[in-house]
Amino acid sequence: MDLTSINPVLLIASLMVAATPILLAAIGELVVEKAGVLNLGVEGMMITGAVVGFAAGVNTGSPALGFVAAALGGAALSLLFGLLTQYLLSNQVATGLALTLFGLGLSALIGKPYEGIKSPTLQKLDLGPLGDLPVVGPILFGHDPVVYLSLLMVLGVWWGLGHSRAGLILRAVGENHDAAHALGYKVVRVRMAAIAFGGASAGLGGAYISLVRVPQWVEGLTAGAGWIALAIVVFASWRPWRALLGAYLFGGVTVLQLNLQAAGLAIPVEYLSMSPYVVTILVLVLISARGQHGAPGALGRVFHGTG
Amino acid sequence: MIVFEKRPSPSRFWAAVTPVLAVLATMIAGGVMFWLLGKDPLVAIRTIFWDPLFDPTFGAYSRPQLLVKAGPLILIAIGLSIGFRAGIWNIGAEGQYIIGAIVGAGVGLAFYPTESRLIFPLMVLAGAFGGWLWAMIPAFLRVRFGTNEILVSLMLVYVAEAMLASVSQGLLRNPDGMGFPGSRNFKEYPAAHNGEIIAGTGMHWGVVMALIAVIFAYLLLSRHMLGFQVRLSGEAPRAARFSGVKPARLVLFCLGLSGALAGMAGLFEVTGPAGQVSIDFGSGYGFTAIIVAFLGRLNPLGILLAGLLMALTYIGGDLASLMLGIPAAAIQLFQGMLLFFLLAMDIFTNFRIRLKKPEAA
C-alpha cells in the first residue's frame, strides 16, 4: 500500500465536491424541518432531480439548464408531498416514505433511455490566477459554480432563518403552529413554500451527482445520499453551519475511503464502501446520546386549522 | 367552502373502502401513464391484473408465482405493521432480510453435505436470529441513546448490501464454482432446500410461515395484552405511559419481531426461489412490504390481501414488460402511486368532508 499517493490538498478539494450534493439536500431539508415538517422523501426528490437534470442537460447540452430543470423537478415532487400532508392531512412519515418509493420508480422509468450516455461537462469557474495559487488555489478557487452556490445557500439560510422577518415567521410556524395560526400567519402556505424550497434543493443535489460527480445516469444513482442528508440535519441540531460541517465530514469519509481503495489498502472494498454509512450511524449515536437539542417543537405534527 | 371535520374515531367503513378506491385510482393513473408510454392502457391493465391469473398460456406458469412473491411480502409486512401501529418505524427490513438469508444460509452450508431433517429448521431459526440481530442494532441504539430508528435501520440496509457482496465473493462462495461469485445452489442440497410443498402451487415453507404470522398477528393484536399496548402506544402515547407501558420494551419487541420475520423471509427466499446467496439477492421486498403494510391498513387480514395484490403487480409487471415492452420501472412507479393514492384518500377515514357556506369573518 502506498499512502503517499494520497495528496491532502486534492483530498480536501475533492471532499468538497463529494459533500456538495448532500449539503444541498441537507440545507433544504433543514428549512423544511424548521417549518415543522418532516419530509422523509429527500432520497426520492434527489434521485428525481438527478434524472431530470441529467436528461435536460443531455438534451440541451447545457448543464446549467439541467440544474434548473432538476430544481423544478424536485420542487414539483415535493409539492405532491405538500398537497398530501398539508391539505389532505396525511401522516408525514408514511407520505415521505411513499415519496421516496415513488421517486425511485419514476427516476428509473425516465432514466432508461439515458443509461450509458455521458453528460455535458460543467465548466469550472475561472477565477484567473487565484486558481493557480498553491494549496489555497485548488481548495478555495478551483471549483464549479454549484459548489459556491451550495456555500452561498448555507449563508443565505443562516441569515434568512436567524436574521430576517420571513425566517422568524417560518421558525414560529415550526415551533408552535397553533400559536402562529392564532397570530394570523398562514401556516400551510409557509410550510408549502418551505417544502418547495426543500424539494428544489434536493433536486439540485441529485443533479450534482448525475451531472458532475459521476457524471452518468444509472438506476439507484443516489445510493442513500438523501437519507444521509436527513441524518446530517439531525447531526447539525438544525443549525446551517453545522450542516456544512456535517456534510464536509461525510464527504471527507467518502473521499478518504475511495482514496484508500485506490491505494490498495488491505481492507476488502466492501468494508470500505460501507464505512460512510457506519460513520453516519456512529455520528447519529454520538449526537443523540447528548439529547436532541434544537428540534423544532411542531416537527412532524399534523396541523389542522379550524375556522 | 369545503371543511374537514375530524371524526371522533376513524371510520371503519372508509378504512375498508379506501384501499379499493386507491387501487382503482392507481389503475386509472397507471392507464394514463401507459398511454403516455405509447401502449394501449386497457390492454396494459388487463395484462397486469388479469392475464397472470386467467390467461390460458401464461396462467399455469404465473399462478404459482403469486404465492412465491406474496409469501415474503406478507411475512415482512406483518412484522412491520406491528411496529408501525406503535409508532416505531423500521424501514430497514431489506437489510434484515439480507442478513437473515446470509446467516441462515451460512449455517446450512456449514453442514454441507450432511443429510438430516434437523438442518432446515435450524437454518430457519438462524435466519430469524440474523434478522433479529440486525434489527436489534437500531432498537438498542434507540432505547439506550434515543437515536432515530428510521435513519439507523435504513443506513444498515446499505451496510447489509455491502456484506452480501462480500460474502457471496468470499466466505460463502461455492468452492466448486470455479471462482464465480455466489454460494452453492440449495436445489442441489436436499436437506436445506425449501422446495414446493405441493407441486405446481408455489406453496413453500415461507408461504406457510406467512400464513402463521397472519394468524399470530391477528391474535396478538386482538386478544393479547401486548397487542393492546402496541395499539395504545400508537394512538395515545401519553395514555400508554400512564397505563404502565414500558416504551423501551415495546421498541425492542417491535423491532425484534419485524427483524426476525424479515430474516426468516430472506432465508426462505434464498433456499427456495432464489436458490443461492448472490450479489443481486436483495430484491426490494423489504421496501415493497412497507407499501403492503399500509395498503393492508396495518391489519393482518388486510395485509394478506394486499400482499397477494402486490404480488400480482410484480408478476403482471413482468408479463407486461415481456408482452408489451413496458419497462419494469413502470411497475415500481405504479406501486409508489398506489401508496400515494391510499394516503391521500385517508382523509375520508379520519375526517368528515362538509360543504359550508363561507361566513363573514
Question: pLDDT, tens digit, for every residue of A138-159?
Answer: 777 777 888 889 999 999 999 9
Please state, rounded to an integer, the average pLDDT across all residues of chain B.
Answer: 86
Task: Domain A3-289: state its class.
Answer: mainly alpha
Rounded CA-CA distance B307/B289 in Å is: 8
pLDDT in tens, A81-91: 999 988 888 88
Nearest-neighbour CA in chain A from B268: distance (Å)? 25
* Residue numbers in B near A280 (CB within 8 A): 151, 155
Q: Is the per-residue pLDDT at A48 higher than 90?
A: yes
Does the distance separating the beta carbons of A109 and B148 come in below 8 Å?
Answer: no
Backbone angles phi, psi at A303, to 5 degrees: -100, 120
CATH no. of B38-326: 1.10.3470
Ramachandran bin of A292, using left for φ above 0, alpha for ψ from -120 to 50, beta for the remaining angles = beta
Average pLDDT, integer, range A59-70: 90
Does residue A69 surpass a pLDDT of 90?
Answer: yes
- Indicate the average pLDDT of chain A: 86
Under the banding of pLDDT at 50, 70 and 90, the label for residue B124 is very high
B39-74 confidence digits (pLDDT tens) = 888 888 888 888 888 888 777 788 888 888 999 999
Instruction: With a cut of 80, say whether residue A266 has pLDDT above it.
Output: no
pLDDT digits (tens, 9 = 90+) for B4-39: 777 887 888 888 888 888 889 988 988 888 888 888
- CA-angle at B72, arms to B67 and B77, nearest 5°: 115
| A261 pLDDT above the threshold of 90 | no
Which of helix, strand or coil describes residue A236?
coil
Chain A interface, mutation test: which of B332, B349, B350, most A Cβ atoms within 10 Å?
B332
What integer pLDDT is reported at residue A293 of this predicted model? 66
Q: Please determine, for residue B253, whether its predicted confidence score (pLDDT) is greater than 70.
A: yes
Residue B216 predicted with pLDDT over 70:
yes
Closest chain A CA to residue B156: A277
Residue A307's pLDDT band (cuts 50, 70, 90):
very low
Q: Does B158 touch chain A (CB under 8 A)?
A: yes
Q: How far is CA A83 from CA A49, A78, A227, in A?
A: 19, 9, 22
Three-state secondary structure string covering chain B: CEEEEECCCCCHHHHHHHHHHHHHHHHHHHHHHHHHCCCCHHHHHHHHHCHHHHCCCCHHHHHHHHHHHHHHHHHHHHHHHHHHHCCCCCCCHHHHHHHHHHHHHHHHHHCCCCCCCCHHHHHHHHHHHHHHHHHHHHHHHHHHHCCCHHHHHHHHHHHHHHHHHHHHHCCCCCCCCCCCCCCCCHHHCHHHCCCCCCCCCCCCHHHHHHHHHHHHHHHHHHHCHHHHHHHHHHHCHHHHHHCCCCHHHHHHHHHHHHHHHHHHHHHHHHHCCCCCCCHHHCCCHHHHHHHHHHHCCCCHHHHHHHHHHHHHHHHHHHHHHHHCCCCHHHHHHHHHHHHHHHHHHHHHHHEEEEECCCCCC
Domain residue extents for chain A: 3-289
Task: Please name the residue of chain A whose CA is at the shortest distance from the CA of residue B155.
Answer: A277
Residue A50 has pLDDT above 90, yes or no: yes
Q: Distance from A230 to chain B by nearest Cα, in Å?
A: 8
pLDDT-based confidence at residue B340 (cuts at 50, 70, 90) = confident
Of the partner residues B327, B328, B344, the one whose CB lies closest to the CB of residue A88: B344
